Each structure stands twice: as C-alpha cells, then as structure tokens.
Structure 1
C-alpha cells in the first residue's frame, strides 16, 4: 500500500502537467467548437450554435480540398521516408570509408528548426536566385516555378519533408536492426533462403514494432505540418499545398473564426486517431493471427 502511494506521489507532477497542457486545452477547444465566436468582431461574446460548425464542415469545399491534399502529402512523404530510411539503415549496418562522417551529415537536418528548413528551401527554389531552378534549367531545360506550378509545389513540399525527417526514420530503424539476434539469419542462410525471403519472413516481422512506432510519429507530424510549408509556398499556388494545418491557421487567425477553427481541429484530431488505429490493426492483427495458428 505504501509503495502505491509513493508511486502515485512520484507520478503526480507528470499527471498535473498532462492535465494542464493536454486535457484542459482539449476540453476548452471542444467547448469553443460548439459556439460561434469572433473575439474581434462587433459581438465578441460566444454564441452557442450547437453542431452547426461540424455540419458546416461537410459542405466546406476548402476544408475537403485541404483534407485531400493533406492525405496525399502524408501518404507520399511517410511512405518514402520509411522506404528510404530502411535502405539507409541497412547501409549504416555495413562498414565503408567515411561512414561516421556520412552518418553525421545525414542526421544534421534533425537539429534544424522546421521554419528554418522552409526558409532555406524557399531560397533554393526561388527562380531568380535558387540553386535548384538554376541547375534544372541548365541541365534539363526545365523551368521550375512553384509559384505558378501546383504539381511542382506539391512535389517540392514532399521532397522537403523527406529531406528533413528521413534521418529520424533511419535512426529508429537502425536501432531496431542492430538489436536483432543473429541466429535466425544464420539459420536461414544455412537453409538456403534468399535475401527477399529473409527480409519478408524474418527481418520485417521482427522490426514491425519499430516500423509501427515510426509511422505513427511521422503520420501525426505530417498531418499537422504548418511552418515548413508556410515558409516554402504559403499554401499555394491556389490550394495545391494548403494542407489542413495551414487551413486551420487561416480560418482562426486571418478570418478570426475561432469556433469553426476549433471544430476543424477536433475533426482532424479524430481522423488522425482513426488512421493510427486502422494502421495499428493492419500491422498487428496479422501478427496475432500468426501466433494463434502457431
């Protein structure tokens, strides 16, 4: 009994912090989501409007477009980061000249603030002074201008996110690969298994928890990205890169529609939880079924 009291006493500061900075803001946003509120308007008081803000979402073309582009961005970015990160992790498992230097350079993007990343990529892609448009025009004759080409703007936001966050995926998967036991791989090689068979039947099942955790983290980050894309494209051209985080920002701050912005935030939180849950079920359920069969 005494140990339980000591444990709760030690956990009390963490619980208080989580309550103050997690639960209380969520309850407040939930409350605001059921009100019409413009604190800078003629009537700054909250007006209860029931579920009108949530009903409005269904017919909001800008919101639906932002959701669609956000899902595309998250799919391409996270999938590319996992694939590239795995191959880089496998590369770092081997010895080659300059391995330490290359690994250090590879992890440098992680220490750069997202807003700085967006600013640097904005400079590199500016048609008049950017190094990327210059070499694309010189080598391939391609005129890159993300201010007027929606597809190029979308692709560049994906590439920027891959450049920034692939090192995190690499380090996570590298730690998982290093911790794997050698006996199953040695036995598979003795039995004549190919590399693809070893990957699908030994490596992938054993590092699945690390992949799951990495995808969860990157998926949640990709769905709420704001500062990098804001600095690079500002959400344009048009709505090509107006992802849901930018859409919420523009609804809440320039339009000062706090009630509707809160409703969008809650729906996005719900969609994120649902996607993570579906991903968890898709990756964990086959593993449980295999254990039952065994």
Structure 2
C-alpha cells in the first residue's frame, strides 16, 4: 500500500503537467469547435452553432484535398526515412575512418528548429541564388522552380522532411540493433542462412517494436508539419503542399476562423489516432495472437 502511494506521488508532477498542458487545452479546443468565433470581428463573442463546423469539415473540398496531399507526403516521407535510417544504422554499426565526424554531421539536422530547416531549404531552392537550382541546371539541364512546379514543390518538401528527420530514425534503430543478442545470428550463420534470410526472419522480427515506435512518432510529426513547409512553399504553388497543418494554420490565423480551425484540429487528431491504431493492429496484434 505504501509503495502504491509513493508511486502515485512520484507520478503526480508529470500527471499535473499533462493535465494542464494536454488535457485542458484539448477540452478548450473541443469547446471552441462547437462555436462560431472570430475574436477580431465586429461581434467577438462565441456563438454556439452545434455541429455546424464538423458538417462543414466533411464537405470542405479544400480540406479533403489537403488530406490527400498529406497522406501522400506522410507515406513517401516516413517510408523513405525508415529505409534510409535502417541502412545508416547498419552502416554506423561498423567501424570506418571518420565515423565519429560523419555521425555528428548526420545528427546536426535533428537539433535544428523546423523554421530554421525551412529557411535553409528556402535559400537552397531559390532560383536566383540557390545551390540546388544551379547544380541541377548545370548537371542535368533541369530548371528547378518550386514556386511554379507543383510536383517539384511536393518532392522538395518530402526530401526536406527526410533530411530533417532521418537522423531520429537512425538513432532509434541503432539503439535497437545494439541491444540484439548475438546468439540467434551466430546460430543462423552456422545453419547456413544468408543475409536476406537473417534480416527477414531474425533482425526484422526482433526490432519490430522499435520500428513501430519510430513509425508512430514520425507519423504523428509528419501529420502536423507546418513550420518548414510554410517557410519553404507557403502551401503552394496552388494547393500542392497545403498539408493539413498548413490548412489549419491558414484557417486560424489569416482568416481568424477559430471555431472552424478547432473543428479541423479535432478531426485531424481523431484521424491520427485511428491511423496509429490501424498500424498497431496490423503489425502487433497478429504477432501477439501467434504467441
């Protein structure tokens, strides 16, 4: 009984922080989502409008289009980061000249704020002064202009996200690979298994929890991408990079439509939870049943 009280006492500061900075803001956003509210309008009062904001979300073509673009962005970014992160993690498991320096340089993007990342890529992709347009033009004769080409803008935002967050995936998978016991691998080599068989039947099942946790983190982060995309493309050209986070930002701040923006935020949170649950059911539940 004493140990239970001590445990709750130690958890109390964390629970209070989560309550005040997590639960209360969510309740407030949920409350605002049932109102029409523009604090800068002639009538700044909240007007209760039942579920009108949610009905509007369902039939908002611009929001639905942003969902599609966001899904494509999340798919390409997260899959690429997972593959590159695993390859780099395997490379860092071996000794090679300059490993410490390269590992430090590889981790640097991770400590940068998203707004800084967007600024760097804005400078690198500006046609008149950017290094990328000049290199692509000199080497391949390709005119990179993310302000005019929707495909180029989308691909650039995906590459920017990969550059920014692959180090996180690498560090997570390195920790998972280092913790693996050597006995199964030695036994597999004695039995004559090749590298592909060892990866699919030993390495991948053993690091699956770490992969799942990494995908969860990156999925949630990618779905709320705002800062770097706003700095790089502003959501354009057109709506090519108007991801869900950018769409919410533009509804809340330039248009000062707080009620509708809150409703979109709640819907996106729900969709994120559903996506994570489906991922869990698809990857973890079958393994638990076999066990």
The reply to whether TM is greater than 0.5 is yes
When normalised by structure 1's length, the TM-score is 0.97
Which residue number in structure 1 is paired with residue 69 of structure 2?
Answer: 69
Alignment: residue pair count: 291
1:18-33 to 2 correspondences below 5 Å: 18-33=18-33
Residues in 1 aligned to 2:78 and 2:150: alpha-carbon distance in whole angstroms: 20
Question: Alpha-carbon deviation of 1:289?
Answer: 3.0
**Is 2:99 aligned against 1:96?**
no
Residues in 2 aligned to 1:186 and 1:76: alpha-carbon distance in whole angstroms: 35
Residues in 2 aligned to 1:195 and 1:225: alpha-carbon distance in whole angstroms: 37
Question: Alpha-carbon deviation of 1:13?
Answer: 1.7
> Which runs of 5 or more residues in structure 1 are unaligned?
none
Residues in 1 aligned to 2:203 and 2:245: alpha-carbon distance in whole angstroms: 36
Question: Alpha-carbon deviation of 1:38?
Answer: 0.8
Which residue number in structure 2 is paired with residue 134 of structure 1?
Answer: 134
Residues in 1 aligned to 2:276 and 2:94: alpha-carbon distance in whole angstroms: 33
Which residue number in structure 2 is paired with residue 276 of structure 1?
Answer: 276
The residue matched to 1:53 in structure 2 has which SS? helix
CA 1:8–1:285: 2 relative to 1, 3 Å: closer
Which residue number in structure 1 is paired with residue 183 of structure 2?
Answer: 183
Residues in 2 aligned to 1:186 and 1:116: alpha-carbon distance in whole angstroms: 45
Residues in 2 aligned to 1:203 and 1:15: alpha-carbon distance in whole angstroms: 36
CA root-mean-square deviation = 0.8
1:141-194 Cα distance to aligned partner (Å, 9 max, x none): 000000000000000000000000000000100110011011100111111111
The residue matched to 1:266 in structure 2 has which SS? helix
Question: Alpha-carbon deviation of 1:5?
Answer: 2.3
Residues in 2 aligned to 1:289 and 1:10: alpha-carbon distance in whole angstroms: 35
Which residue number in structure 2 is paired with residue 110 of structure 1?
Answer: 110
1:32-70 Cα distance to aligned partner (Å, 9 max, x none): 111111111111111111111001111111100111111
The residue matched to 2:284 in structure 1 has which SS? helix
The residue matched to 1:15 in structure 2 has which SS? helix
Residues in 1 aligned to 2:2 and 2:170: alpha-carbon distance in whole angstroms: 44
> Which runs of 5 or more residues in structure 2 are unaligned?
none
The residue matched to 1:45 in structure 2 has which SS? coil
Moved over 3 A (4+): none
When normalised by structure 2's length, the TM-score is 0.98
Residues in 1 aligned to 2:177 and 2:5: alpha-carbon distance in whole angstroms: 40
Which residue number in structure 2 is paired with residue 158 of structure 1?
Answer: 158
Question: Alpha-carbon deviation of 1:75?
Answer: 0.5
The residue matched to 1:175 in structure 2 has which SS? helix
Question: Alpha-carbon deviation of 1:81?
Answer: 0.1
The residue matched to 1:14 in structure 2 has which SS? helix
